[in-house]
Structure 1
Amino acid sequence: MSSLRGRLFRKESRDRYIERDNRFEKTISGGDLIALGIGAVIGTGIFILPGTVAATKAGPSIILSFIVAAIVCSVAAMCYAEFSSALPVAGSAYSYGNVIFGELIGWILGWALILEYVLAVAAVSTGWSAYFSSFISGFGLHVPKALSGPFDPTHGTYINIIAILIVCLIAFFLSKGLKSSIRINNIMVIVKIAIIVLFLLVGAFYVKPTNWHPFLPFGVKGMFQGASTVFFAYLGFDAVSSSAAEVKNPDRNMPFGIIGTLIIATVLYIGVSVVLTGMVPFTKLNVADPVAFALQSVNQNWMAGLLSLGALAGMTTMMVTMIYSSSRLVYSTGRDGLLPKTLGEVSANHSPLHAMTVVTIVIAILGGLVPLDQLTNLVNIGTLIAFTVVSFGVIPLRKRKDIPNHGFKVPFYPVLPIISGLLCIFLMTTLSAETWIASLIWFAFGLLIYFTYGIHHSQLARSSDGSK
């Protein structure tokens, strides 16, 4: 029994990970990291959440809701920043768990993140398909109904061909090398931010301060309910940490990218909330496209049309970041032998091509064939589990004398890491019973893979000095 426990909680070596990840090329700058983070965090939600949550939960105090949610997220972000500074390796929380807590915990975290990344991209690919179909319909072009939705013969749809094509196209560009993909991502992030800033500038002329009264129509409780809802708008910054093995000067740039992402996202979310609730009474914002509705209400239809372009850019950059991050995560499990070793290979152009191919196929199948409405809540639980372990993990990380960290460290240690972990646990308790049941099934499947394959092929178990 003790020998089994020793195998399950055998810890990886930081130096061994860094040595294996040297096959990657260090090409990512601090600015590139912020673009990756903004690409993941700022999607179509910025055009929807501030309006719908204001209408149903918080009123104009949605402004404070975003600030509260940002504070909660920032504590977890600081914990990620410390880990990525101390452990500049691929795999994000999966690799952190392997080094600090042992292989089983690392695998559980990796399995949770695979769920987060894959489902998030699949869900967004279907949204991208819907926006794109709406966009081309303005030119008289239409996707045949049979090819426009998930497999549902009773409603006449068999496959969402646009969702599959956009996922494959993004993966193709990523597989050709990171430099060009990062450049394209950066351009699209700039386009997205420019459209958001343009909305703020145009909308500011139509703000009526009377629309902010009453500021707390649902009370303080409504403001906090709004905060727990919009908390999930910030998720995605953790994907930045997957890129650590490919970052120049990770000690400085990783914390810069993670915390910088959160600051810029917070400013943009608050800005949209202020202008949107000032333009239109919050009671009118419970619509599918509240920002477009607000612009149309003040006869700025030209700007409403630009929002579709911003939404497409937002969803594209989110998919770029998440496909990139999930391929590095799957690469890490292959590198460690917990999934087939071929997934841990890096091609001549410094890309984990086999991992990228597997990730793309899985996402394309989900996005093209499976209705995802009920599955997207699983994204939240996968993220929160990783946040919780990373937050508490800062405490044993600090105690490891063999892991030097000359970069960022969480202030007010150990109070802030503990608060971060407890807040994440609290948010998990607010998720539905259906989400918990589905997640337990997912983790049971993951443990089955680990105990039937991973534990027997683990590189760590095979190495003579793996008990470090």
Structure 2
Amino acid sequence: MSIFTRAFKRESVNTYIKADSHMSRVLTTRDLIGLGVGTVIGTGIFILPGHEAAQHAGPAVAVAFLIAAIFSGLSGMAFAEFSSAMPVAGSAYSYGTVIYGEIIGWLLGWSLILEYFLAVSAIATGFSAYLGNLLTIFNIHIPKALMSGPMEGGVINLFAVLIILLVTVILSRGLNASKKIENGAVILKVAILVLFIVGGSFFIKHTNYVPFYPKEFQTGIGGLGGLSAATASIIFAFLGFDTIAAHAAEVKNPQKTMARGIIGTVIISALLYVLFSIVLTGIVNYKKLGVDDPAAFALQSIHQTQFAVVITVGALIGMFTAILALIYASSRLTYSFGRDGLLPRSLGKISAGSHLPVNALILAIIIESIFAGLIPLNTLANLINAGTLLAFMFINFGILILRRRKDLSHDGFKVPGYPVIPFIAGVISFILLTQLPSETLELFAVWVLIGIIWYFAYGIHHSKLS
């Protein structure tokens, strides 16, 4: 067997199911929606609507969120079908290995692990900034040395590290305790967002919606350059529904539950994002919204300072739930690599007492803590989108192969409009990927190259498929 043929060797679904049999199937549809909304409604809703309105779309940012939601929904259905047919840990990594071959699965997983690690670190950094701003309201000032890493003139971003460690303690208590805390925090966060949407609607000035899509953003083909750039950036906001697929090995009745969890997450998140954006750009002119806390800024501009504190608390809760869900997903993906031998096999062990991949969890939080504590991630944020869009593209096109595999027939959820819808979603994924900045694509190419080198130097020799 040539090394090329070996690299594209496919794994059996039954092998994965047997390997994951030690994990407890305890998650319900409500738990999955809690995890999904907990991730999706995180930093994105409290930062992105303002930034994208000011820089790319104006009040039409609400349309960009709606387009991103529709696209995410299409890709979400593909993930839902895969997780119904293959209720195993690993998300796109495991699906890619079964459908395309091990090297493609590895590169998809390699891209997603970058997405998860950077997302946790970026959100933890945002949490630290919001908490620092909240403390200043009460005249508590934290030294800059403890609020930023050495590349920003500080020593360590202490709060960013501490929130990751706090979440790890919660996760280490087991799945039942974690999901209760996550579900409760998500309900509180959504309540605060609804309060902003309803309360803020009374302060909307319709003149702020004119022009709805400003001329300065009407570039590119059909004048849609600004809108497409905003949509490509906003994909980050919907990071989360794909992480649900990482938990398929711990879900009750995955053939039905996975689809309900993923699609429910997309619908709820889309509704909140679009309404939030409409109210935000109605309260304040879009030109003034290029700040890191646009919702609090908007409320302060209409002299609702006390309510701005409530929104800040909501942002902190939102980021907390996102960090919890993403660390959860990143540890499961790391476990999958160890399970299959592409990373050291100690990472694929499940603790007998807690039924958790403890070694994988420890590695994930070490890397994420280092990133969050020492490295400013604003220049790397688009890398998160690159990994996500690559996975979306392969998973959507993968549906075309999945349906033709007689050994993978299933009675669970199936993407409607086959083969048109998954093909269109795959093409859109590719187009959005090309819309990312050139420096982002260059950095992502370097990451993929490192993954290829690791695979041929280590993974292919230690993989269970060998």
User: If the TM-score is normalised by the length of the shorter chain, which range does it land in?
Assistant: over 0.9
Counterparts of 2:389 and 2:405 in 1: how far apart (Å)?
A: 25
Deviation of 1:56 after TM superposition, in Å, equals 3.1
The answer on 1:443 being equivalent to 2:443 is no
Deviation of 1:71 after TM superposition, in Å, equals 1.5
2:193 corresponds to which letter in structure 1?
A: I
Structure 1: segments with no counterpart, 5+ residues? 462-468
The answer on 1:188 being equivalent to 2:207 is no
2:144 corresponds to which letter in structure 1?
A: K
1:449 corresponds to which letter in structure 2?
A: W
1:263 corresponds to which letter in structure 2?
A: I
Counterparts of 2:134 and 2:302 in 1: how far apart (Å)?
A: 22
2:417 corresponds to which letter in structure 1?
A: F
1:69 is aligned to: 68
1:428 is aligned to: 433
Q: Aligned to 2:378, what secondary structure does the other structure show?
A: coil
1:396 is aligned to: 401
Counterparts of 2:24 and 2:10 in 1: how far apart (Å)?
A: 26
Residues 9-408 of structure 1: matches in 2 within 5 Å? Answer: 9-152=8-151, 155=153, 157-218=154-215, 221=224, 222-347=226-351, 348-408=353-413
Q: Normalising to structure 2: TM-score of the pair?
A: 0.94
Q: Aligned to 1:402, what secondary structure does the other structure show?
A: helix
Counterparts of 2:26 and 2:20 in 1: how far apart (Å)?
A: 14
Cα pair 2:235 2:385 within 8 Å, conserved: no
Counterparts of 1:439 and 1:276 in 2: how far apart (Å)?
A: 33
Deviation of 1:238 after TM superposition, in Å, equals 0.5
Counterparts of 1:233 and 1:15 in 2: how far apart (Å)?
A: 34
2:164 corresponds to which letter in structure 1?
A: V
Counterparts of 1:231 and 1:448 in 2: how far apart (Å)?
A: 29
2:419 is aligned to: 414
Deviation of 1:225 after TM superposition, in Å, equals 4.0
Deviation of 1:413 after TM superposition, in Å, equals 0.8
Q: 1:216 to 1:146 in 2, by over 3 A?
A: closer
Moved more, 54-63 or 197-206: 54-63
User: What are the superposed Cα offsets for residues 365-396 of structure 1, whole Å, 9 maximum, x if unpaired?
Assistant: 11111222222221111111111110110111
Structure 2: segments with no counterpart, 5+ residues? none
Q: Aligned to 1:15, what secondary structure does the other structure show?
A: helix
Counterparts of 2:142 and 2:285 in 1: how far apart (Å)?
A: 37
Deviation of 1:23 after TM superposition, in Å, equals 0.5
Deviation of 1:55 after TM superposition, in Å, equals 3.0
Deviation of 1:359 after TM superposition, in Å, equals 0.6
1:179 corresponds to which letter in structure 2?
A: N
Identity rate of aligned residues, in percent? Answer: 50
2:463 corresponds to which letter in structure 1?
A: S
Counterparts of 1:448 and 1:356 in 2: how far apart (Å)?
A: 24
2:194 corresponds to which letter in structure 1?
A: V
Q: Aligned to 1:26, what secondary structure does the other structure show?
A: coil
Counterparts of 2:395 and 2:458 in 1: how far apart (Å)?
A: 26
1:195 corresponds to which letter in structure 2?
A: I
Cα pair 2:128 2:159 within 8 Å, conserved: yes
Q: Aligned to 1:410, what secondary structure does the other structure show?
A: coil
1:5 is aligned to: 4
The answer on 1:454 being equivalent to 2:459 is yes
2:157 corresponds to which letter in structure 1?
A: N
Counterparts of 1:14 and 1:117 in 2: how far apart (Å)?
A: 24
Counterparts of 1:114 and 1:453 in 2: how far apart (Å)?
A: 17
Q: Aligned to 1:387, what secondary structure does the other structure show?
A: helix
Moved more, 113-122 or 451-460: 451-460
Counterparts of 1:136 and 1:323 in 2: how far apart (Å)?
A: 26
User: What are the superposed Cα offsets for residues 128-175 of structure 1, whole Å, 9 maximum, x if unpaired?
Assistant: 1122222233344343333221124x83x1222221121112112112
Deviation of 1:193 after TM superposition, in Å, equals 0.6
Deviation of 1:440 after TM superposition, in Å, equals 2.0
Question: RMSD across aligned C-alpha pairs, in angstroms?
Answer: 1.7
Q: Normalising to structure 1: TM-score of the pair?
A: 0.94
Deviation of 1:80 after TM superposition, in Å, equals 0.8
2:248 corresponds to which letter in structure 1?
A: A
User: What are the superposed Cα offsets for residues 412-432 of structure 1, whole Å, 9 maximum, x if unpaired?
Assistant: 111111111111111111122
Q: 1:360 to 1:393 in 2, by over 3 A?
A: same
Q: Aligned to 2:2, what secondary structure does the other structure show?
A: helix
Q: Aligned to 1:72, what secondary structure does the other structure show?
A: helix
Q: Aligned to 1:459, what secondary structure does the other structure show?
A: coil
Q: 1:395 to 1:213 in 2, by over 3 A?
A: same
Deviation of 1:322 after TM superposition, in Å, equals 0.8
Deviation of 1:252 after TM superposition, in Å, equals 0.7
Counterparts of 1:107 and 1:227 in 2: how far apart (Å)?
A: 27
Deviation of 1:110 after TM superposition, in Å, equals 0.9
Counterparts of 2:343 and 2:24 in 1: how far apart (Å)?
A: 23
Deviation of 1:211 after TM superposition, in Å, equals 2.9
